Amino acid sequence: MQRTFAMLKPGVLQRRIVGEVLARFERKGLKIVGMKILTIPPLLAATHYAEHKGKSFYDGLIQYIISGPVVAMVIEGDEAVQLVRKICGPTAVCESLPGTIRGDFCLHTNLNIIHSSDSPESAERELKLFFQPNEIVSWDDGN
Ligand code: CMP
């Protein structure tokens, strides 16, 4: 069992497609064990995306991510980090195939509507930034 962090960016709430995006993870059988809506403070945005500081798209990325509320999530399952990344599709919109979230809903790489952790180490770091331990709920699905 593994946990990963995923975040629906502001465009998802604005376009009223939260349900459609979440359904992709639920359909696969992944478990949502934490979820909140928040508007990200600039400092948290900078910490979360620190590895991209200095890149050409950094300023636009920060501007976008703080422009409206996001849905932050903890998703649990076997190999959840890789599985969630696959369901999201590659970062670059031209590479994300139809059937993936980015392939189906994104037109621009910098407005790519969803973030997910790229490794177990990133997941641990990002989960701690966005969630207190008592905000993650273990639940039994009987399987
Ligand atoms: P995300 O998964 O949130 O992680 C970093 C984000 O930077 C990425 O999704 C994109 O939104 C953005 N990004 C990465 N590469 C580029 C790029 N080449 N041009 C514009 N935005 C990018």
**CATH number reported for the structural domain that contains residue 109 in this entry:** 3.30.70.141
In a domain, 141, yes or no: no
In a domain, 102, yes or no: yes
Domain count, the chain: 1
Active site residue 48: no
- Mean pLDDT, residues 58-72 taken together: 97
Percent of the chain clearing pLDDT 70 (strictly above): 99
Rounded-to-integer distance, Cα 54 and Cα 51, Å: 9
Task: Determine the residue of 12, 57, 58 to mutate for testing ligand 1's pocket, defined as the one with the most ligand atoms within 8 A of the Cβ atom.
Answer: 57
In a domain, 142, yes or no: no
In a domain, 91, yes or no: yes
In a domain, 140, yes or no: no
The answer to whether 6 touches 124, Cβ cutoff 8 Å, is no
Chain position carrying tokens 């990002």: 126
Rounded-to-integer distance, Cα 137 and Cα 104, Å: 30
The answer to whether 5 touches 123, Cβ cutoff 8 Å, is yes
Q: Which pTM was predicted? A: 0.95
In a domain, 24, yes or no: yes
In a domain, 130, yes or no: yes
In a domain, 126, yes or no: yes
91 is in an annotated binding site: yes
Question: ipTM value of the model?
Answer: 0.93
Range of the domain at 25: 2-135
Specify which residues 71 forms β-bridges with: 8, 37
Rounded-to-integer distance, Cα 94 and Cα 113, Å: 14
Confidence of residue 54 (pLDDT cuts 50, 70, 90): very high
